[in-house]
């Protein structure tokens, strides 16, 4: 039981880090918006999109020149009234799936998506077999 609670706490702690992230980057005057929905869309995209140069950080967490260019690109696309999906596909067309942290399910990403489940499945099978043997 205690273990379950600990596990739950672990998940919640990850959630709280990301929501802090959003608070930090809000109130930024560099990208003025007239509408709050557009502003929200802009900042949520900066969190979702990945910096092509730095590889392990998102656009909002990076200050590299390419990230700043892409922020400007996203800013302009948001101002033009594009939806989140439109903006993402605009960038995927140029930079590939790399730029979104959420790769689509396709043959090239099957291992990525299903590998962990297969490993868990194999592990549980092994555990089951060994347990059975021990209780015998």
Residue 96 within binding range of other proteins, rule CB under 8 A: yes
- Which of 44, 63, 94, 124 binds other proteins (CB under 8 A)? It is 94
**79 versus 92: smaller Cβ distance to other proteins:** 92
Give the CA count within 13 Å in the CB-facing half-sphere of 36. Answer: 0
Q: Tokens for 57?
A: 């950080």
Beta carbons of 58 and 48 less than 8 angstroms apart: yes
Coil, strand or helix: which one is 58?
strand
Q: Tokens for 3?
A: 């273990």
Residue 131 within binding range of other proteins, rule CB under 8 A: no
Residue 55 within binding range of other proteins, rule CB under 8 A: yes
User: Near other proteins by CB under 8 A, which window of 1-9, 21-29, 35-43, 65-73?
Assistant: 65-73
Which residue reads 């969190």 in tokens? 47
Interface ranges with other proteins (CB under 8 A): 52-53, 55, 65-66, 69-70, 72-73, 92-98, 119, 122-123, 126, 129-130, 133
């Amino acid at each position: 039981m205690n273990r379950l609670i600990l596990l739950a706490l672990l998940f919640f702690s990850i959630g709280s880090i990301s929501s802090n992230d959003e608070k930090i980057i809000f109130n930024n005057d560099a990208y003025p918006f007239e509408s709050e929905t557009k502003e929200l869309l802009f900042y949520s995209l900066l969190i979702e999109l990945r910096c092509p140069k730095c590889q392990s950080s998102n656009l909002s967490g990076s200050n590299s020149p390419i990230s700043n260019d892409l922020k400007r690109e996203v800013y302009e696309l948001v101002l033009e009234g594009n939806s989140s999906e439109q903006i993402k596909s605009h960038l995927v067309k140029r930079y590939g799936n790399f730029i979104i942290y959420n790769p689509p399910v396709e043959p090239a990403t099957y291992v990525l998506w299903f590998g962990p489940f297969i490993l868990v499945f194999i592990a549980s099978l092994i555990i089951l077999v060994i347990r059975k043997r021990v209780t015998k």
